[in-house]
Structure 1
Amino acid sequence: MDQQERYDNLKLGERGAIVSIVAYIVLSAFKLIVGYIAGSEALRADGMNNATDIVASVAVLVGLRLAQKPADRNHRYGHWKSETIASLISSFIMAAVGLQVLFAAVSSVFGGSEKAPDPISVWAGLFSAAAMYFVYRYNRRLAVRINSQAVMAAAKDNVSDALVSVGAVIGIVGSQFGLPWLDPVAAVAVGLLICKTAWDIFRDASHHLSDGFDESTIESFKEAILEVEGVEAVKDIKARNYGSSAVVDVVVLVNMELDFAEAHEIATSVENKLKKTSEVYEVHVHYEPVDVSEMLS
């Protein structure tokens, strides 16, 4: 995949963020209004979650746009990591909301709730869950298609919101059967689920930003390199993430009897081989001579 295709994918990723923003604006207003009228703590907590998700989705959109900026003097590799930074910011926003929802819900539980919310809140929750599930499916397909960490983070947020709405519905339905305390308890579950999703997104984003890389993917890179004719062994291989792409550093061993031009051609073949993988953006190949007879002995 060339650089222009990566920029085009980031443009496509913006669609996912915009779809999420529109969905969250509509659903947060809907849930907060219905939750207030129906007297449902769980539905209001769900609405608050969606209201903050608007900010998180805007952060993803800004990150995707910043990632499209070309390389400059201070960013020789480009601005691809802006996408991952956007995911990290989203996790902080989600965690803040989750803790706020937890605090309000726990206070409500211990404060004692004697009145069950209006049944209309059940239908509102079910509608919201269905809507967010469809947004999740759209964003997940898009994230897989363009290999975008930020859009996948948005998709995880979407599916957690769908589950949150289902949890709110369960609490509201239970409160209709003489268990009014179940509604604020469901709000506690909502808060915990928001915090769990925030942690998952934070863990993935911080792993990428600290140059962590999936070991199985490293192994697949190594296997691909060993298929290149002239490569005797892979002495060392490292990789790091730049947004949805990877930069690979590899040291290969080549026959010591080869001249410079032949060894350089092998290094170029290694580079081209890895760049055929959609994840790889740049490859730095260093080759060292080795006595093949000693390797075979």
Structure 2
Amino acid sequence: MNPKLPDPVQEDLRQAHRLEWWTLTWMSSVVIVMWFVMGSSQAMKTALVEDILSLVPAVVFLVALRFERRRPNAAFPFGFDRVQSLSSLIAAVALCAVGAILIFDSTSSLLSQEHPTMLPVRVFGHDIWQGWLMIAGLVYSVIPPMILGRLKQPIAHRLQDEVLDTDAMMQKADWMTGLAGIIGIVGTGFGIWWMDAAAAAFISLSILKDGVTSLRVATAELVDGAPRRLGRVDLAKDSLKLHERLSELYPGSKVRLRATGRYIHAEVCGPLPHRAPTVQEVWRGNPERAWRLAQISFVPGSGSTS
């Protein structure tokens, strides 16, 4: 972990690291179970695709964390903090893909009036309606992501980690898709053929909305946008307070802030100060998040405050 980070932040990073490995383990088992019980149900097929794609954020988080630990070198003199922004983009694209796939598959099934078939299967010498096996598989697919997502969400907020937050939203999409699948299969059992695909279509809209929001935030970071609120497109309150404080300390200067992964970099363009300020002097947000201010740069120039 980064030795410059406070101990509580480093502990959160270690916990997030463990949670992502748990995610890969449990969600892989979910994929295997869903593969064996999916049958011809549209909701089951889309849930399986969604469960496979849900592994992407966990993988990119672990890869990004490994790179983030590396020290700056001649090839990368500014370090690897921005790899977290790139990972956010990859995770957001995966979430958007889940929503888009769900919408396409479910809509296609509704338009083609595809009737899912759930014939009896023989298990231990007894004939069992295949729908019961599907429901059992979906119930199992709901439990791990519901628990993991709820564990990740508070850590993501404390770390201001977009990848972990997107992963938590992916976990939410997992269990919501599972519940929608159960509703669809029960409806199919009662002869309501369209409920299977309609349930998947309904839940896909919320998933796609979350994915688009995450994509907008990740894109803003990569083009040096001002820091955003976690999982939102509006500007972060800590960032606004920092901008206000720097403008007060250096009137007539142009203050610019940008997000680099979970960190904030500030640039003050104007007359050079006699001394560099301390973090305590400029940070007006939550003191526990002062570690986010990674750098304050002073650039000679005349610019006006913005």
Match runs of 1:219-238 below 5 Å: 219-225=240-246, 231=249, 233=251, 235-238=253-256
User: Of residues 17, 21, 25 in structure 1, which corresponds to 2:24?
Assistant: 21
Name the % identity: 19
Distance 1:189 1:183, change over 3 A: same
Structure 2 spans left out of the alignment, 5+ residues:
119-129, 229-234
* 2:165 is the alignment partner of 1:152: yes
User: Which position in structure 1 is the counterpart of 2:258?
Assistant: 240
Q: Please, which of 175, 183, 192 is the counterpart of residue 188 of structure 2? A: 175
| CA drift at 1:86 | 1.2
Q: Which residue of 2 aligns with 1:69?
A: 70
Look up the match of 2:124: none
Q: Which structure: larger Rg?
A: 1
Aligned-pair CA distance for 1:70: 1.3
Partner of 2:208: 195
CA distance in 2, matches of 1:73, 1:25: 39
User: Which residue of 2 is the match for residue 257 of structure 1?
Assistant: none
In the alignment, structure 1 residue 218 sits paired with structure 2 residue 236:
no
Structure 1 position 248, deviation (Å): 0.6
Q: Is residue 287 of structure 2 the alignment partner of residue 269 of structure 1? A: no
Amino acid paired to 1:208: E
1:1-297 aligned within 5 A: 4-5=4-5, 8=10, 10-36=13-39, 39-109=40-110, 110-113=112-115, 115=117, 118-213=131-226, 214=228, 215=235, 216-225=237-246, 231=249, 233=251, 235-251=253-269, 263-265=273-275, 268-274=276-282, 277-285=290-298
- SS at structure 1 position matched to 2:73: coil
The residue number in structure 1 matching 2:231 is none
The amino acid across from 2:5 in the alignment is E
CA contact (8 A) 1:211 1:240 kept: yes
Displacement of 1:202 in angstroms is: 1.3
User: Separation in 2 of the partners of 1:234 and 1:43?
Assistant: 60
Q: Counterparts of 2:53 and 2:250 in 1: how far apart (Å)?
A: 54
Contact preservation (8 Å) 1:271, 1:285: no
| RMSD (Å), alpha carbons | 3.1
How far 1:252 sits from its partner (Å)?
7.0
Checking the alignment, whether the CA contact within 8 Å between 1:45 and 1:190 is kept in structure 2 is no
Bigger proportion of residues as helix: 1
**Alpha-carbon offset, residue 192 of structure 1:** 4.1
Alpha carbons of 1:274 and 1:128: their partners in 2 closer, same or farther (altered >3 Å)? farther
